[in-house]
Amino acid sequence: MRVLGIDPGLRTLGWGVIEAEGSRLRHVANGLCQTASGGDLATRLLSLYRQLSEVVERHAPDVAAVEQTFVNKDAVATLKLGQARAIALLVPAQFGLEVGEYAPNQVKKTVVGVGHADKRQVEHMVLMQLPGCKIAGSDAADALAIAICHAHQSGGRRLKVVA
d(CA 33, CA 134): 16
- 3-class secondary structure per residue, the chain: CEEEEEECCCCEEEEEEEEEECCEEEEEEEEEEECCCCCCHHHHHHHHHHHHHHHHHHHCCCEEEEECCCCCCCHHHHHHHHHHHHHHHHHHHHCCCEEEEECHHHHHHHHCCCCCCCHHHHHHHHHHHCCCCCCCCHHHHHHHHHHHHHHHHHHCCCCEECC
- Residues noted as catalytic: 7, 67, 139
The verdict on whether residue 67 carries a ligand-binding annotation is: yes
Alpha-carbon Rg of the chain, whole angstroms? 15
The verdict on whether residue 98 carries a ligand-binding annotation is: no
The verdict on whether residue 139 carries a ligand-binding annotation is: yes
Is residue 34 a contact partner of residue 11, using CB atoms and an 8 Å limit? yes
**Binding-site residues from annotation for Mg(2+):** 7, 67, 139
**Binding-site residues from annotation:** 7, 67, 139
